[in-house]
Amino acid sequence: MTVLDVLCVGETMAVITPANAEPLSKAEECLLGFGGAESNVAAHLAEFGYRAGWASRLGMDPFGDRIAGGLAARGVDLSRVMRDQTSSTGVYFKDPDLGRGARTLYYRAGSAASRMSPEDSRTWSLEQTGWIHTSGINAALSRSCSELTEQLLTQAPTVGYKASFDVNYRPALWSVDVAGPRLLELASRAAVVFVGLDEAETLWGCATADDVSSLLPGPRHVVVKDSATEAVEFVREPGKEVQVFRFPAHRVDVVEPVGAGDAFAAGYLAGMLRGDPPVDRLALGHSFAAWTLGSLADFRPGHGTKPRTFGSKHIHAAAT
């Protein structure tokens, strides 16, 4: 099985959107695409030059074929993807509501990906990857997916890889009462945690990034994203005081916010993998996010190994 720098684990679904700016109820033509938080991260890392893979389940159906073909074309390794003969690939629809944005209609209950379990990971050769990335979306899909997520985070030191966890709270998947404690438990097991300040406030009542850091003393790196304002990283080293690093978000004209959080995580991880200091990896995360915010797509190709927005604090300082 392919040796990887990063393996991303989670569901990717087919996405159907009207071809024109109109509600689904009036659309004569629609476009078929795909999207998923973890596979977005894998695609960004692959374009940046890392050996990135995606692990999940897809149905033996045309939607699954479309996703597999699309991710392979983006350079993502799919050797750890299982094709499920009995369950279908999840699908969601974007229903534009002119003047109000768009609502999303999910058809993912009982999907192939929701049947992932700890048993699946036994075939993934986890000792052949240096990093595992997953999110709270995966944990919300089913009990077996939640167990898989916990296993991947918990066994990281023993198997020999590092693990990152993006909280990625989705109210459509589970309530705050259920999600809050479980996501906190999972985040506490990761080496790197990504969470939006708005999520942390909803889930755990955190008003500031410092509150989040205090709530998560276990992870070595806690990255708190404050929307369009800044990202803050808290670094814990044994026997040392917590170090705090900040970097402001870039000023961009936002076309579509979906996928920007995944892009940020990918940029940050790309910086960490190449040994960047904290401020530079925060800057790279913002670069990936800013590039993605300028597109309607969840994943916007084209930044390659040199993002077209600000690549470091030095470039940012020169541009402001």
Q: Which helix (H) or strand (E) holds 69?
A: helix 62-73
Q: Is the Cβ–Cβ distance between 285 and 267 less than 8 Å?
A: yes
Choose the catalytic residue: 120, 262, 280, 298: 262
Contacts of 285 (CB under 8 A, 6+ apart): 223, 231, 263, 264, 265, 266, 267, 268, 271
In angstroms, rounded to a whole number, what is the distance separating the alpha carbons of residues 152 and 117? 11
Interhelix angle for 143-154 vs 176-188, to 10°? 20
What number of residues does the chain have?
A: 320
Query: Is 262 noted as a catalytic residue in this protein?
Result: yes
Comparing CA positions, the residue from 303, 258, 263, 269 lying closest to residue 13 is 258
Residue pair 45/266 in contact (Cβ under 8 Å)? The answer is yes
Catalytic annotation, residues: 262
